[in-house]
Amino acid sequence: MAPAVPTAQSIAGRAPSGTVTIAENFLGGAGAGNGTLHFRGQNYPFRLAGTVVGPGGAARIQASGNIYGLTKVEDFAGIYTQGTGQRGIDTSTRSDLWLQNSSGVIMHLRGTQIGGTLSLGRDELLIEMAPR
């Protein structure tokens, strides 16, 4: 079962435990990219693969944001879900995503998108730590 969709209320009164930057290329219903987690003074590279439920599209996404609820780096990897239920074509140039994994880690990403995607309201992002 997927975690509840996080919102600004989910992190009310909580300080970020880290920050993240990502770059992803999206084609069809899947995307791939990489990123860096900054946590407790260290940088941790990671790989990512993303999917949307629906036909997808073509886009280049660059984003950064805060991480909440991360107490150990091992809890960062996993499947992050955003299930807003919002369907349609996203051709916006700015994005504001709230994602959460099964360890309770919340990722709030803001960034830019070049291109467009078609979603049926559920997106997933798989994060795997890269060798350092």
Burial 39-51 (b: 16+ CB within 10 A, else e): beeeebebebebb
pLDDT of residue 115: 65
pLDDT digits (tens, 9 = 90+) for 78-99: 999 876 544 444 445 567 788 8
Write down the pLDDT at residue 50: 77
DSSP string for residues in 11-66 = GTTPPPSEEEEEEEEEEETEEEEEEEEEETTEEEEEEEEEEESSSEEEEEEEEEEE
CA dist., res. 4 & res. 81, Å (int): 9
Q: Tell me: the pLDDT tens digits for 56-74?
A: 566 777 889 999 999 999 9
pLDDT value at residue 28 = 65
- In the prediction, which pLDDT does 13 show? 86
Statement: residue 120 has pLDDT above 50: no
Of all residues in the chain, the percent with pLDDT exceeding 90 is 41
pLDDT tens for each residue of 13-53: 899 999 999 988 877 667 789 999 999 999 999 999 876 55
Q: Judge whether 68 and 128 are in contact, CB under 8 Å.
A: no
d(CA 11, CA 113): 25
Q: CA 50: distance to chain centroid?
A: 8
